Structure 1
Amino acid sequence: MEGRYINPNAQVDPSARIGTGVVIEDDVLIGSNVEIGHNVVIHSGVRIGSNSKVGSNTVLGKRPSASAISATTTADKELPPLVIGENVTIGALCVIYRGAVLKQCVFVGDLVSIREDVTIGDMSVIGRGVTVENKVTIGKKVKIETEAYITALSSIGDYCFIAPEVTFTNDNFLGRTEERKKHFGGPTLLRGARIGGNATLLPGVQIGEDALVAAGSVVTRDVPAGVIVAGVPAKLLRPVPTEQLLRNQSFYEG
């Protein structure tokens, strides 16, 4: 295998297709019919399920590091393997950390960063340039669009939709005082919540089931289920139309 390095202790199915310049360290498992692009680095402790694809110049299984003043670091603990399920697609120039779990049929666009202690449910889509920080849970059939920022300690339920350039936040003290470390927490989106483009969610807010946050809004308090909020700060506008409710969509499985 000229032009690449595969550690003798790595277990790579013979059907895998591997590009040039690839580095595969020890303690790596690669299933059948996996496609690995050029110049990919796969660190030790990575599991890739069958029929998955990894784009060129991507790094899998990176270990976290942090500055001395980081408040949500996990750099000092041993992390479990990075687990990539079956039929997962990962784009080019992505960095996905050790300790993340991508379940079946997840799609990850180019230039995505996914940190440690992140779980992404079946058939979810992580769009181009999205950043998912550590300690985040994302449900099934979620769509997060281009360059959204999902801060650490956030939770996103099944069937949620997050438009481009949405920003999650988790620190009401903006980096000042030790007191802030007692109150860290990102937003929580319950099942079917939708967030419009360029909206900002303040730390700890909960967006109820089937609620909709209009584009450009700043959410400073919890949003009830099934309503639309808009503005800066976001205020109640009206109920979500019946035909838009999750239970009335053909893709909803209950």
Structure 2
Amino acid sequence: TPTDPDRTFSDDPLRMMRAIRFAAQLGFTIEEKTWQGIVNNAHRISIITQERITEELNKMILAPIPSVGFDLLYKAGLLKLIFPQLVELAGAEYKDGHGHKDNFYHTLQVLDNLSKNTTDLWLRWAAILHDIAKPATKRFEKGHGWTFHGHEVVGGRMVSKIFTKLKLPLHEKMRLVRISRIRMITFFSSPNKFQIKTWFTSQLKMSSSKCFKKINFRSRFKLSSSLGS
């Protein structure tokens, strides 16, 4: 930064997100004093309007490797202020010898894998939100380990709240809710394209062209999830 980082980021806290986005997009490392200025002023992000924050967040999601920006937001203490539901995925818990993966970094890996196949912002959002309800549904069952029963259903409801809070478009919100429902139904079986098309047209009232677009997305998303497991 041209002046003292603390003053720079205090004057316009959105610069913190921009600095992280540029680092993610261009692949450079944030200088130590600049990074400390971001950490020191993370709390100042609360004075920025939600629309400006979300605009920067969307640009970060569209980066070639989105996980870089999200990891920096997380480590700087910004992510817990602008997207606390995602931060709640962080950490692995162990009990009676049973552990579960760190769903935060798993989500970032799924996002990166999917991003190799699509630049569609909303499909990338679907990757970010695909496990968002796991903290709310996490249970330990003796003899079985950790379970997350119903997280897809709860996640569908959480999408609406998150989109409202982040001031994201409502018509895209419905698209993600539908994707959440599709994932819940299809990931536990191996239906053929005809069966999926029938489900789409009967339950979601989609045209054939949209059906097959979603089918292709499901294939990419399932592969991304498996690569990120």
The TM-score with structure 1 as length reference comes to 0.27
Higher RCO (C-alpha under 8 Å, 6+ residues apart): 2
More helix, by proportion: 2
